[in-house]
Amino acid sequence: MRDYLAFLNDDARIGRIAAIELLDAGVADRETLLRAHPEWHRSGTLHALLARAHDALDGDVGLAIELTTFVLAQLPGVHVPDSPAFLRPQLEGTAWKEHGNALYTAGNRIDDALAAAERAAGILSSEEVLAVDHASALLLIALIQSARQQFGEAEAAVAQSIAVFAEHGETRRYLDAIQTQAMIALQQDDVAGAREWYARAYEHADRLDDDRERARILNNLGYCALRTGDLDSANDYLSRALSEMTRLRLDGEIQRTVSNIAGLERERGHLDKAVLSLCSVYPKLLDRGLVQDAIAVLIDIHDVVFEITGDVEYARSLCAKLAILGRYDVPPNVREAVDYLQATVAGTSSPRVMQRVIASVRRFLHEVLASSSARFTLPAIPEADR
């Protein structure tokens, strides 16, 4: 046991140093540098690179794909002790899982992401001691299957992961898993079911005394209450969420909560308040790189302004000022939908056409938020409405 612990410490120490050098080298020189330092070709180095790839998912998915691809290429010749037997499948399974994670986050390689996640799950199922790692791969499979709208497979995978995390006392991963189940329910328009899962998640976050997760879950509970028409509960949840997010400085989440509050004001008939909230949120979401969320808000602005005024020209002029997307990295499918919206609104004086186009683009954006690779198709507008 002492020799094993000594190996792990040495492996991690050398791996951290090697990973820093390899990261600095860049993709062009990484292979050459590794060949020049054969002592770096070890599991600790690859684990450190995979950890960096995971951290990059939020801000630089290209780097995450680059690093996981590099790690996968190094697996055949990497030095891993023969004992304990789980060390090699743990490394290989983690590499494939993080590669699948990166491909899924990129959004345009969903099939490849699923293949990588399934390969990870197969490798990690080979050793009983890797049950938690296997469940993490299953949770990724659930996310990918839900993006493919294969909800039966997604729910089966997430149910397995929930059971394993509960059995092994993996409290954080358990919380992630039950929120994934809530998201899958929402994607199927099972809002009541999603609300139950989020309520369960809130209780768990409360036991963990996790302020940030509580605030996020309150926002999700408010959204569910809004969707079911429970406006008093929605107001309570969203007000609490906004207060907590402001205290914790969760800026990105604050903008989503303000959007939900605007939706609440709209349902209550306070459309002027809804417009003020939405107009303040839209540019902030763009500046934070949350383009799909921002454009979903833009659609709501079109709709609310038109509902307030009944004035097509006013709605058109306001939204033309807001829809400045030139310097933002807008996915092609989303840009196509926004361009269509802008062109149609600019070329019509018909309220019915505007309402149909807004509804169609809004449906598409809901699809994009569930699966970033969703395709935009032009809506059919009856000749009588043109």
* HSE-CB of 322 using CA atoms within 13 angstroms: 29
Residue 19 makes CB contacts below 8 A (sequence gap 6+) with 45, 48, 49, 52
Which CATH number covers residue 193? 1.25.40
Percent of the chain topping pLDDT 90: 43
Interatomic CA distance for residues 108 and 362, integer angstroms: 21
Domain co-membership, 298 together with 258 = no
- Do 305 and 377 have their domain in common? yes
Identity of the residue numbered 232: D
CB atoms closer than 10 angstroms to residue 79: 13
Query: CA–CA separation, 301 vs 352, rounded Å?
Result: 17
pLDDT tens-digit readout, 55-92: 888 778 889 999 999 999 999 989 888 778 899 999 99
- Let me know the angle formed at the C-alpha of 225 by 220 and 231, rounded to the nearest 5 degrees: 130
Q: Is 304 found in the same domain as 260?
A: no
Judge whether 384 lies within some domain: yes
The C-alpha atoms of residue 259 and residue 367 are separated, in whole angstroms, by: 18
Q: Are residues 323 and 373 in the same domain?
A: yes
The model's confidence at residue 5, banded by pLDDT at 50, 70 and 90, is low
Residues 291 and 363 in one domain: yes
Of 120-124, 313-317, 360-364, give the range with the top mean pLDDT.
Answer: 120-124
* Residue of 270, 260, 268 lying closest to 240 (CA atoms): 260
Do 193 and 233 belong to one domain? Answer: yes
| Segment 278-286 mean pLDDT | 76
At 79, give phi and psi (nearest 5°): -80, 115
Same domain, 196 and 237: yes
Residues 264 and 289 in one domain: no
* Span 91-111, pLDDT tens digits: 999 999 999 999 998 877 899
What total of structural domains would you count in the chain? 2
Of 97-101, 147-151, 214-218, 358-362, the least confident = 358-362
Ranges 40-44, 305-309, 334-338: which has the least confidence: 305-309
Confirm if 48 and 8 have CB atoms less than 8 A apart.
Answer: no
Of the residues 208, 243, 269, which one is the last residue of a structural domain? 269
Say whether both 262 and 311 belong to one domain: no
Q: Lowest-confidence range among 129-143, 163-177, 230-244? A: 230-244
Q: Is residue 55 part of a domain?
A: no
Question: According to the 3-state scheme, what is the secondary structure of the chain?
Answer: CHHHHHHHHHHHHHHHHHHHHHHHHHHHHHHHHHHHCHHHCEHHHHHHHHHHHHHHCCCCHHHHHHHHHHHHHHHHHCECCCCCCCHHHHHHHHHHHHHHHHHHHHCCCHHHHHHHHHHHHHHHCCCHHHHHHHHHHHHHHHHHHHHCCCHHHHHHHHHHHHHHHHHCCCHHHHHHHHHHHHHHHHHCCCHHHHHHHHHHHHHHHHHHCCHHHHHHHHHHHHHHHHHCCCHHHHHHHHHHHHHHHHHHCCHHHHHHHHHHHHHHHHHCCCHHHHHHHHHHHHHHHHHCCCHHHHHHHHHHHHHHHHHHHCCHHHHHHHHHHHCCCCCCCCCHHHHHHHHHHHHHHHCCCCHHHHHHHHHHHHHHHHHHHHCCCCCCCCCCCCHHHC
Confidence of residue 295 (pLDDT cuts 50, 70, 90): confident
Residue 81 in domain? no
Separation of alpha carbons 67 and 101, rounded Å: 12
Q: Is 11 within a domain?
A: no
pLDDT tens column, 7-16: 667 788 888 9
Residue 160 lies in a domain: no
Euclidean distance between CA atoms 215 and 221, whole angstroms: 10
Higher pLDDT, 139 or 11: 139
* Main-chain dihedrals φ then ψ at residue 126, nearest 5 degrees: -75, -20
Residue 199 burial (10 A CB sphere; 0-12, 13-18, 19+): middle
What are the pLDDT digits (tens) for 320-348? 666 666 666 777 888 888 788 778 777 77
291 and 260 share one domain: no
Whole-angstrom distance, CA of residue 98 vs CA of residue 91: 11
Has residue 346 been placed in a domain?
A: yes
Nearest Cα residue to 241 out of 203, 211, 265 = 211
Tokens of 46: 């690859």
Residue with tokens 């390689």: 109
Model pLDDT, residue 358? 77
Residue among 76, 69, 80 nearest 44 (CA)? 80
Instruction: Note down the domain range covering 301.
Output: 285-386
pTM above 0.75, yes or no: no
Q: 79 has which bridge partners?
A: 42
CA atoms within 13 A on the CB side of 147: 26
The answer to whether position 385 is within a domain reads yes
Flag whether pLDDT at 384 surpasses 60: no
Residue 230 maps to a domain: yes
Q: Are 146 and 183 in contact (CB under 8 A)?
A: yes
CB neighbours of residue 375 within 10 Å: 11
- Does 335 lie in the same domain as 290? yes
